Structure 1
Amino acid sequence: MIRTENITKSFGENEVLKGITTEFYTGKPNLIIGSSGAGKTVLLKLLIGLFEPSSGTVYYGDTDLFSLTPKELRTVRMKVGMLFQGNALFDSMTVEENIRFPMDMFTRMTAKEKSARVDECLEMVNMEGINKRYPSEVSGGMQKRVGIARAMVLEPEYLFCDEPNSGLDPQTSILIDELICDLTTRNNITTVINTHDMNSVMGIGDNILLLKNGLVAWRGDKSQVLESDNQTLEDFIFASPFLRRLRTDALKLRNG
């Protein structure tokens, strides 16, 4: 589990986060949502340790992330997998080389052990046999799967995903959501997802954090979204008239 205690973050006079206290649960997809400028990306970078808070702290279990020495922080980061918005695959490397990269950086595994682990991770994301292809030779959805395989290669306890469905068609987005959810529950990891995708919210949102102006505006799960009377949540989730009508019809059916 990851938890934050009264996290604030300012850049000069601009206070982006204004006191975030929350929890991200193990074995569940935890989603951070909110409009542009709400503080989602800054919070995600604080959770990873790329930014330091102006005040407050982040706990990985009972460990205060910002009290660690550089050596201790490196040990924690070896437990972290990251799926980037733009995949961040190396174009000049094959799929296998991309997935192997974290092992080259952080382990002393033999070449044979690394190759076996690459194969395991490709099988995990249903991408067997593409080891020698380059990112440009596979589709965007397949690139995303390769990114997930690389994020999982060191068997992380924590997985962070920044807009994992960005640029994908709706059907592929659902497949990526299901894959991330399956890996989260099967491996009992703490997964935090920064997303704008409302299909993700309603599909895998087991713990949802809505930010507005640097504050927690709402927290709940996908089953509570339709019935919530939180105006900020309603304005964000059901921004279009079509979705508002859909919500109204769903509530009418539920209430008989």
Structure 2
Amino acid sequence: MIRTEDLHKSFDGVEVLKGITTEFYQGKTNLIIGRSGAGKTVLLKLLVGLFRPTSGRVWYDDVDLYSLNKKQLRNIRMQVGMLFQGSALFDSMTVEENVRFPLDMFTNKTRKEKLDRVNYCLERVNLEGVNSKFPSETSGGMQKRVGIARSIVLGPKYLFCDEPNSGLDPKTSIVIDELIKSITEEQNITTVINTHDMNSVMEIGENIVLLSNGQIAWRGNKSEVLTSDSDTLRDFIFASPFLQKLRSTALEKE
């Protein structure tokens, strides 16, 4: 579990996050949603440790992230997997080398042990036999799956995904969502996803935090979205006429 305690963050005197207290649960897909400028990316970077809060705390289970020294912080980061928005693969490395990179950086495993782990992770994301390909030789969806394989190669307790469906077609986005959700459950990971994708919200949103103007405007799960009386959630989720009609239908059935 990850939890935040009265988290504030300011830049040049402008307060971006205004007292975020919430929890992200182990074995669940935890989603951070909100309009552009709501503070989602800043919150994610605070959770990962890329920013320091102006005030407040981030807890990894019972560990205060920002009280750690460099060695302790390195140990925590070895338990963290990160899936970046653009996959962030190294163009000059093969798929195998990309996935193996965290093992090279953080472990003393033998070459065979590393290869076995890389192959396991590639098989887990349905990419057997692509070890020697370069990212430019793969599709956007495949690159995202390579990114997932790399993010889980160290066996993380915590997984952060920044807009995992960015740039993908709807069908591929569903595949990525289902893959992240199944890995989260299977490995009992605390997964935090920053997303604009409403399909992700409705399909895998087990714990959803809606940010608005740097504050938590709503919390709930996918089954509560359609019937929520939150004006902020309604304005965000049901911007399109189709979704407005879907919500009206759901309310009529109650």
SS at match of 2:21: strand
Give the match for residue 243 of structure 2.
Answer: 243
Question: 1:77 offset after TM fit, Å?
Answer: 0.1
Q: Does residue 11 of the first structure (1) align with residue 46 of the second (2)?
A: no
Q: Does residue 121 of the first structure (1) align with residue 126 of the second (2)?
A: no
Give matches, 1:1-256, under 5 Å: 1-252=1-252, 254-255=253-254
State the distance in 2 between where 1:201 and 1:243 align: 13
State the distance in 1 between where 2:22 and 2:250 align: 30
SS at match of 2:161: strand
Q: Check conservation: 2:227, 2:247, Cα contact below 8 A.
A: no
TM-score (normalised: structure 2):
0.99
Structure 1 counterpart of 2:83, which letter? L
Q: Deviations over 1:18-65 (max 9, x none)?
A: 000000000000000000000000000000000000000100000000
Aligned residues: 254
Greater Cα offset, 176-185 or 236-245: 236-245
Unaligned runs of 5+ in 1: none
Question: 1:250 offset after TM fit, Å?
Answer: 2.6
State the distance in 1 between where 2:248 and 2:127 align: 41
Question: 1:242 offset after TM fit, Å?
Answer: 1.9
State the distance in 2 between where 1:237 and 1:138 align: 33
State the distance in 2 between where 1:212 and 1:250 align: 25
Structure 2 counterpart of 1:88, which letter? A
Structure 1 stretches of 4+ moved >2 Å:
none
Q: C-alpha root-mean-square deviation of aligned residues, in Å?
A: 0.5
State the distance in 2 between where 1:246 and 1:213 align: 27
State the distance in 1 between where 2:35 and 2:204 align: 19
Q: Deviations over 1:86-143 (max 9, x none)?
A: 0000011000000000001000011111111010000110110100000011110000
Structure 1 counterpart of 2:226, which letter? L
State the distance in 2 between where 1:44 and 1:188 align: 20
State the distance in 2 between where 1:103 and 1:119 align: 13
Question: 1:251 offset after TM fit, Å?
Answer: 2.3
Q: Check conservation: 2:32, 2:208, Cα contact below 8 A.
A: yes
State the distance in 1 between where 2:67 and 2:21 align: 18
TM-score (normalised: structure 1):
0.98
Question: 1:13 offset after TM fit, Å?
Answer: 1.5
Q: Deviations over 1:161-208 (max 9, x none)?
A: 000000000000000000000000000000000000000000000000
Unaligned runs of 5+ in 2: none
SS at match of 1:129: coil
State the distance in 1 between where 2:177 and 2:243 align: 21
Percent identical across equivalent pairs? 72
